[in-house]
Amino acid sequence: MASRERDFPRAKKSLGQNFLASPAVAERIAAALRPVPGELVFEIGPGRGALTAPLAASGARLVAFEIDAPLAERLREDYAAEANVEIVRADIRGVDIDAEARARGGTAFKLAGNIPYQLTSSILIDLARWRLVTAAALMVQREVGERVLAPPGRRACGILSIFIQSYFIIERAMTVRPGSFTPPPKVMSVVLRFTPAAQALAPSDRLDFLAFLKGCFAQRRKKLRNVASEAF
């Protein structure tokens, strides 16, 4: 069922809340994720439930993590009769979604969400650390999305680009205008679809690889072999 629009708390700037308000956009995000009945899907930051509605309607087992207590309570009320929907009040920065999947008997999951802009990098890094994810559809600020998609050799290519591209095939699913949100942000957004596909030489220890990349970009003028010798 779709969440009711009335009586929702106002957006909190401290949480970076810009609520998705377009059902058409929500449907397209859900379509990019391609959830099927019975499979485990996690949603990051459901807010007022725009994306929650089509995800729940797919028949997937949906678990949505919402940090805002009044919003979480409101969503629990809206979906109280839906056996396939679970609303959890939690800060996603402290959630190990692999562990959450295992706790529910899952061996795989899909991930969706309209990510607060200030959390984008940390969530994308966690995405590469979660090993049970089979697909993700995440909305991010367009500038960040362009960096994530930037191929090697382009100026926009950086730590996040190389790290994420080492473990995923990334596709731009759609561009979303500010008018699709309430309140409207000052920037455009994009929805990215992630499919796990580690590159042949991608290190298996992902955190060590991330630390190595940070070392490389912190010492851009050094030769790579010198940075590598210091790291290992």
Sign of the torsion angle spanned by Cα atoms 35, 38, 44, 48: positive
Helix (H, G, I), strand (E, B) or coil at 20: strand
HEC assignment per residue over 58-73? CCCEEEEEECCHHHHH
Whole-number pLDDT of residue 152: 84
State pTM to two decimals: 0.87
* Residue 208 one-letter amino acid: D
Q: Examine the pLDDT at 224 and tell me if it is beyond 80.
A: no
Task: State the pLDDT at residue 116.
Answer: 81
Position 43: which residue type? E
Task: Give the chain's end-to-end CA distance (angstroms, integer).
Answer: 53
Task: Identify the band that residue 174 occupies on the pLDDT scale cut at 50, 70 and 90.
Answer: very high
Q: Is the pLDDT of residue 103 over 50?
A: yes
Please give the single-letter amino acid code of residue 167: Y
Q: Name the average pLDDT for the chain.
A: 89
pLDDT at 170 > cutoff 90: yes
Over residues 157-166, the pLDDT tens digits come to 999 999 999 9
Structure tokens given for 218: 């912190």
- 10-24 confidence digits (pLDDT tens): 655 655 568 899 999
Indicate whether 222 pLDDT > 60: no
pLDDT score for 230:
53
- Rounded Cα distance between 147 and 204, Å, is 23
For the cut 50, the answer to whether the pLDDT of residue 4 exceeds it is no
The pLDDT of residue 2 is above 50: no
For tokens 């290519």, name the residue. 157
Name, in order, each residue with C-beta under 8 angstroms of 51's C-beta and a sequence gap of 6 or more.
Answer: 20, 26, 29, 30, 43, 112, 113, 114
